[in-house]
Chain A
């Protein structure tokens, strides 16, 4: 069916002669309320509450969160975790991520593959055991990390390995999902500013499809570790 007829049909069924004017400049239909109930939109935790809740919620989902006072303590924590996992291949976000979090030294004992711009990335990343990424935002209410697609920030680093390690800062944690949208909106909601994917990850991959028996690690990672540098205190 052609587009015009499709919309004309919808308008007719809604009792209108023509489809509503929906140019970018046209006013949206009036509404009494947008989004979550008012009490929820007003809901806000302080820094420590956000940090505690994020860690507790992620643990509830089967993930783990560890808070570090300093960046160097976090680096030691990551080194210990990698030693324990002893992966044969570690995938890491490319771009400025490693430099920003000063992870060069920590990663050096492992065989590391960085996500860079080259076409055969998928095949190479199919074999990583551990993926190390940052995140753009996190949500305390649900223990969620939010990853936006960008040049160095390949989706597959967090999706393909069986262990996903998120290296993040406490200041990235928001109280609830609505605040994340507000932040993303500040960058501009038009498609030119939005990345092709924004992924909200809450704990390890799970399924209860076999006789209702909960299992972890179906397609995505079986373990999610968040290492958090509490930058709010310094």
Chain B
């Protein structure tokens, strides 16, 4: 299933499609299990994980509640180091800022390192519309770019691709006599992308963290592609969400411990690059120009919303995906947008308000595993409930559902009505029930009973039993032995 955002399908329809794909389900289960187990091992080894987590939460909460201060420090310091700063209130302005630089440099080729925020503004599409070639250089992103798809996992974008499919994609991209072993495939990608690094006019990255006290942009990668992209081309463009800031380098130490462990169960990321401005006069390596595009795109509305401000604490590790029973079954594409899993189910409807993604908060069992896994303790399950509450009564609510709730309100308002309705329901359930359970594929409860058992109403209500029991008690009392 390719970029689903324009299909206007519901999350349920997309899930059905995903559930038919056996490879996808097996791959997602295998990978998420592995990431989850490794994370568990890595946090056990570190010890006192809850203290680290709490520290992570404190740092993010403090920064976000003083974002005006820390972002200002970041911007002033980055400027002092020679960076040029652009502000974008939405995806369109961010794309315009990037395109402005691209045009000024008359760039033909942009090399990109993996970045969720650049997916969020669909910059690849914008660049291609202007006949600028853009190449993803993270191995997973490169694969899905060749397949013309969206990432299906925040950390492992090509989680759903088999090595045969990858071989075919690489062959189409010029690979000759490629085998399906990992080494051969990686060697091809290394050689191919090396040309891109050396010839690109512009390198583009996201920003894992910005450090306010120095104006530094911090990038985390395992492959080294962010270093290539930021060191080789003459111009480096950073696109960062405005909430990516940390106050100090001391705080970065906490994130450097939390992020790789939560994302892949690694103790440490292979390359952490701290970039402060473009290259200095005395240095001979690095870009001549550094542009930082700071993006709002709906983030400020979360900032002012007490129920959702904490979602800005997110460090994009993907740990919530790996533990989510829904994600583990349906994979990332069923979420239909850039951010999948529990964080996507919260973030997407907030970033892209309106009809299209309003059903995403329903793609959750509210089990809270996402909160348990989150390295900065974002209460995602509470936010999912809050989103459902806000959507209730909105245009997505079906007429039958509204009628059902009205009926519920009526029936439960008076004891007499309640008794009457439950009696009727007890009669109505007779053809559907079996051994005390309803397991029907039709009727008003089929949304539930299609795939699960619903307990049937007991043959006798508690109220009826209670009045009989009262009778018995009275009899015993009046006749003590």
User: Taking beta carbons and an 8 Å cutoff, which residues of A are in contact with B?
Assistant: 1-3, 6-7, 9-16, 19-22, 24, 28-29, 31-37, 39, 57, 61, 115-119, 121-123, 126, 142-144, 149-151, 154-156, 159, 176-178, 181, 184-185, 189-192, 194-213, 215, 217-221
Contacts and interface: CB of A to CB of B under 8 A. Distances in A.
A200 B274 CA distance: 8
B285 interface: yes
Contacts of A201: 270-271
B322 to A, nearest CB: 12
Contacts of A34: 247-248, 250-251
Contact of A154 (B138, B216, B222, B284): B284
How many B residues are at the interface, by size bracket? 35 or more
B68 A16 contact: yes
Contacts of A7: 68, 71-72
A126 B273 contact: no
B468 interface: no
Given A1-B87, A1-B89, A210-B182, 14 more contacts: A9-B89, A13-B304, A33-B58, A35-B253, A36-B250, A150-B283, A159-B231, A181-B250, A196-B277, A199-B273, A208-B156, A209-B158, A218-B224, A219-B193
A181 B271 contact: no
Contacts of B286: 149, 155, 196-197
B215 to A, nearest CB: 6
Contacts of B8: none
Contacts of B304: 12-15
A217 B193 CA distance: 13
B241 interface: no
A15 B76 CA distance: 23
Interface stretch (B48-56, B344-352, B360-368, B472-480): B48-56
A181 B93 CA distance: 35
A143 to B, nearest CB: 7
A10 B71 contact: yes
A176 B193 CA distance: 34
Interface string B54-81: 0100100010011111111101111011
Contact of A197 (B51, B185, B274): B274
Contacts of A192: 80
B143 A20 contact: no
Interface string B151-166: 0000011100111001
B385 interface: no
Contact of B87 (A2, A29, A35, A178): A2
B98 interface: no
